[in-house]
Structure 1
Amino acid sequence: MPNNRMRYSSVEMLQGAFSQIGEYEFTQSAPGRLDALVTSTAIGGCLVYGSRVDRSLVITGQRPADCWTIAPITAECADGYYRGSQLDCGDLLLLDPAGEVFQHFRPGHSQNVISIPLPLAQRIIQAEHHALPEEIWGQWRVKSDPRVSLELDGMLRRALAAQGPTSVDGHSEDEFAGRVIALIQSSCASEHPRPGVVLRQRIVARAQELIHGRLENPPTITELCEVSCCSRRALFYAFQSLLGRSPGAHIKMLRLHEARRRILKRRHQRGIQQLAFELGFKHPGQFAIDYARTFGESPSETGGYAGPSVCIETPQRAILQSAVA
């Protein structure tokens, strides 16, 4: 299938695109309008996609339950963090289906990823490698193997560059998933997440649930500690480790992004101050200042900006649905 290229100028548009394949929430940590490019293609029943962003982003949520996702880490996406672990050039990130997402990108982050449908991956692993699939994808992990990481990234780049049904590296498309899995299985031993990392994920997940339920009346640090069953120090360390933010900064960012979504939804209506009050911002002037610092524009400018994404080639929705169907 021909590749698809989409450019997005806001986190809302980017989140909307990825919501077709998983439950994700995107927030940006640096001011200014986002410039994000997403390229994707369906090959051999798999979805291959690449992304490039010019702003620091934090992503939380949950991956789809029907796919096994693998990401090679190159120099263009190293120094990012996934679930509190810094990713180094040469790593391979193997992501568990339906797993929680806690990730933050630095400006200039560029990465290629492949998602393999579980029935296809299960068949290949059992038939070709005589292994139990759940032991391979049951838990997220990191492998450090620069040779394999570089080779896999090259395969994904060539797949994204191909136009129309064709062979990739001299092999048929139907063999693509098998070649990827064989490459992963030939790599070095994995590093599984340490118990402390798992505990930090649990702390942030519990806190996030309370925060999202009370954006209009944000919880205090005491309440977050109570719901997460942890100390103040552990709470701050978990948030900084997984999201690169303090709990207070993260709450503020989530509320500002929710305000932006509501402004865009009510674009042709008045009442930005009323909207700010609804979200618990008691001082309209400070709200406007914080908003401009975050998004590089005032709330009223957002209200007058339509900002559609730019489709450079084929529709994003069609290619995503065809790849995961």
Structure 2
Amino acid sequence: MHLERLIEQAQGLITRSLRPMDDLLLFQRSAPSSFEAALYEPVLCLILQGRKQVSIGEQTLSFGAGECLLVSHDLPVSSRVTKAPYLALVLEVDVATIRKLYDEVAESALDSERARAAELHRADPGLLDALGRYLALADAPADAKVLGPLISKEIHYRLLVAPFGGMLRSLIRHDSNASAIARAIGNIRGDIRSPIVIPELARQVGMSASSFHKHFKTITSTTPLQYQKELRLLEARRLLRTGGASVTTAAFDVGYESASQFSREYARKFGVPPSQDLANGAA
């Protein structure tokens, strides 16, 4: 399938639904945007029109029409649309499905120690075709029940064996560094309030402290402490914007011991003081 055909499909669907399938999202912007902070869980983002810039720790990626961003781990990111009109197809990546494919790709799965949790590549015709067939099921609910799981598995397989699928290939091994860091991320996300003790976190995932720190930064482009800070600030913003917490309460709820330090780091991260987001949330 050509990219133009996939664009036509997406444009036809987006007027009716931004989420044509449970794990598939269409995202559109008519103008460039400022930086927006968010948490990306494992996902494939294929740009159909326009261009986007994504910053992940010390790594900055820029990609445009026909290019894919594949994210294999939960990552705090800052992103902005740099060229519009912008249209993107976003597919949730199911790591469990990836792992079930282990037996079918086992011999080719051991080549990815230098891969990162966010990788770019141009989408090949096979992947575009599979995504197009999956998108088409939005208009065929009966077919979607039977064919949806099959096409989803095909898409995951194509991502797994693609040139930018190195981190996914590493994740299917439970004894890999990628799997250890994924478990560590799960532990950090499970308790963002408690201070991180690197030796203890490393022990929990079966690594030495020095090896853990090295591989965490290689994979995520950031340190465990910075990663936790990003999560804390994102959660604090959510609390403020939903109107359920004061600035001080939000700071303490996510693990800060100093409200003034929280306010400084919040403003540095989001460009506005937390009190402004509190006001916006209340409005």
Q: TM-score range by the shorter chain?
A: 0.5 to 0.7
Identify which of structures 1 and 2 has the higher relative contact order when contacts are C-alpha pairs closer than 8 Å and 6+ apart: 1
In the superposition, relative to structure 1, how do residues 178 and 150 fare at CA in structure 2: closer, same or farther (>3 Å)? Answer: same
The answer on whether the counterparts of 2:38 and 2:234 sit within 8 Å (CA) in structure 1 is: no
2:202 match: 225
Question: Which structure: greater helix fraction?
Answer: 2
Q: Aligned runs of 1:1-325 on 2, under 5 Å?
A: 3=13, 39-42=18-21, 48-51=24-27, 55=36, 57-60=38-41, 73=46, 101-102=73-74, 106-108=79-81, 110-113=88-91, 135=101, 146-154=124-132, 178=147, 181=151, 184=154, 190=161, 193-194=169-170, 199-267=176-244, 271-306=246-281
Q: Which runs of 5+ in 1 are unaligned?
A: 7-37, 62-68, 117-133, 166-171, 309-325
- Aligned equivalents of 2:93 and 2:190: distance in 1? 31
Give the drift of 1:286. 2.2
Q: Any unmatched runs of 5+ in structure 2?
A: 1-11, 56-60, 82-86, 95-99, 110-118, 163-167
Paired residue type of 2:19 = S
Aligned residues: 229
Q: Provide the secondary structure at the position in 2 that maps to 1:230.
A: coil
Q: Which amino acid aligns with 1:259?
A: A
CA distance in 2, matches of 1:214, 1:189: 30
* 2:280 aligned counterpart, secondary structure: coil
Q: Report the AA paired with residue 232 of structure 1.
A: A
After TM superposition, the score normalised by the length of structure 2 is: 0.54
The CA deviation string for residues 59-93 of structure 1, in whole angstroms up to 9 with x for no partner, is: 237xxxxxxx9x58567789989xxxx9x967797
Q: CA deviation at 1:147?
A: 1.8
Cα RMSD of the aligned pairs, angstroms, is 5.4
What's the % identity of the aligned pairs? 16
Q: Label 1:275 to 1:92 Cα distance change in 2 as closer, same or farther (>3 A).
A: closer
Q: CA deviation at 1:256?
A: 1.5
Q: 1:291: Cα distance to partner?
A: 0.5
> Which residue matches 2:7?
none
Q: Which amino acid aligns with 2:20?
A: T
Is this contact kept in 2: 1:91–1:146, CA < 8 A? Answer: no
C-alpha separation between the residues in 1 aligned to 2:256 and 2:147?
Answer: 53
- The whole-number CA distance in structure 2 between the counterparts of 1:290 and 1:238 is 26
Cα drift, residue 231 of structure 1:
2.5
Q: Is the contact between residue 114 and residue 156 of structure 1 (CA under 8 Å) also seen in structure 2?
A: no
- 1:293 Cα deviation from its structure 2 partner: 1.8
